[in-house]
Structure 1
């Protein structure tokens, strides 16, 4: 590990951070400092066994964040709105990390960002978990943090959990309840993020200062459903639900999700070609489904 530049990875035991740690360790160009709130949990111990330096930090604890960044060449930064669903808290966390990255002289920060939708739409649409990250992006640029922002598309993994197919009244057919109509929706597996971040960190001159929209596939909900049907052998269709009807569903965060899908209607910039350049092995939705079809056997 001696002589290698250190990359601090926040959220190292989460989906995004975990993918980044795995890819950096496999590439072996950088030493990896994996940041987690609990260094004793099994996932953290596994990272240490794999060769990462595992350190404890809480995004609400400024001293621990600074310690995690001290001496690092670069960082991967991700914050989790869904943990607290507080826009202001996420902005505070993100700005605080940006301040420390600047003060400590980090040379390349890859930030898991998103658009400031409220600003882009002149206040007509507000997507809290996008807007907070967009504000942090803007702040980081203002204080001249050498940053690349990666903006992920809709996670394919959501179709296994929050947005999994729902059984229809006939007991045989399933439907995807996603209010996109016939507008294509970009998607990507979060597991494919790591090699992308690794490529960006290895090419700072090419990517520092850029906002990169990531996507592995641009499909309509009907096309997602057709692929799911083909792979699982089940009949899965697009429910054709409207945003107005979707907003009336009863689950936590439904308004936030409705606003997100309305922003997706505007076709935000997500670049499949660049995504494949950064990670040639990125999975199409069909490949993702083939790898995860067991998750649908108990539908």
Structure 2
């Protein structure tokens, strides 16, 4: 009898986790075990209908997390900041439970430590610090692992800073500095593809994958250049302007940090190692065609 190869996916109904679910279902090599806080939700039921195992677990309930990873070969971990559940606790529970369960390979979505990179200048980016601490804990755990480093989510352009229609085209209000280069990550296309590629290859290429940080993204343009590319794809001028600070210290300091420190300077983007493993990347123009155009069409219906 063939043994099922199970991958536990935390945050399976969220942006990152759903990308992993889609990629694994498309490949058919692994069985996705989708972790959700509510197995009875519409989103969770939809995952079950597509062939996922669905388990209910709060990431701050270590026993529930342990049940979620029991019997899994691989785990994808992503933690959610700025909620009542401490992000660091979420991640430590995932790692510790995975170690106890004998998980063979763990892929974690992470960020750099702003405090370390800036030599203590930026210390309020708690979501950066928590992810960096979880990453360190994972690497010290003894579980074979790979880390995916994300940048600016292109999906932000249809969620938290969506395009607004003007008389002649479209306009974007962005809290980030718009004339600094930034890693662009198309989560829906690229993250799931990268996770699937790493999990597909980790048994044969463990020595070159284990403990490595991989850059997730297809390019490093400025937001001004992103807006110009979107305008070309849409056939209408698209402008962008930096808006006022948000008044939320962790995010305001994050924008200052990424404006001052280019943590991916000099590094190849897209990551050639991920491409060699078969991961896919996309361009801003392709994102505009696949995601922004349908989004704008829905707004006019």
Aligned partner of residue 183 in structure 2, secondary structure: strand
Aligned partner of residue 150 in structure 1, secondary structure: strand
Aligned partner of residue 120 in structure 2, secondary structure: coil
Matched residue, 2:15? 15
Partners of 1:181 and 1:66 lie apart in 2 by 43
The alignment's C-alpha RMSD in Å is 2.4
Matched residue, 2:81? 81
Matched residue, 2:287? 288
Aligned partner of residue 76 in structure 2, secondary structure: strand
Matched residue, 2:239? 237
Matched residue, 1:150? 148
Q: Which runs of 5+ in 1 are unaligned?
A: none
Deviation at 1:278, TM superposition (A): 4.7
Aligned partner of residue 194 in structure 1, secondary structure: helix
Partners of 1:281 and 1:26 lie apart in 2 by 13
Aligned partner of residue 199 in structure 2, secondary structure: helix
Aligned partner of residue 183 in structure 1, secondary structure: coil
Matched, 1:261 2:249: no
The verdict on how the C-alpha distance between 1:96 and 1:273 changes in structure 2, with shifts beyond 3 A counting, is closer
Q: Which runs of 5+ in 2 are unaligned?
A: none
The verdict on how the C-alpha distance between 1:32 and 1:181 changes in structure 2, with shifts beyond 3 A counting, is closer
Contact 2:170-2:237 at 8 Å conserved across structures: yes
Partners of 2:151 and 2:277 lie apart in 1 by 15
Aligned partner of residue 156 in structure 2, secondary structure: helix
Matched residue, 1:159? 157
Among candidates 202, 218, 221, match of residue 220 of structure 2 = 218
Q: Which runs of 4+ in 1 moved over 3 A?
A: 165-168, 170-173, 275-281, 296-299
Deviation at 1:171, TM superposition (A): 8.5
Contact 2:44-2:54 at 8 Å conserved across structures: yes
Normalising by structure 1, we get a TM-score of 0.86
Deviation at 1:53, TM superposition (A): 1.1
Matched residue, 1:59? 59
Normalising by structure 2, we get a TM-score of 0.86
The verdict on how the C-alpha distance between 1:167 and 1:259 changes in structure 2, with shifts beyond 3 A counting, is farther
The verdict on how the C-alpha distance between 1:139 and 1:280 changes in structure 2, with shifts beyond 3 A counting, is closer
Partners of 1:105 and 1:66 lie apart in 2 by 11
Contact 1:6-1:71 at 8 Å conserved across structures: yes
Deviation at 1:148, TM superposition (A): 0.9
Matched, 1:138 2:140: no
After superposition, the C-alpha distances for 1:9-40 in whole angstroms (9 at most, x for unaligned) are: 11111111111111112211112211111111
Partners of 1:32 and 1:167 lie apart in 2 by 39
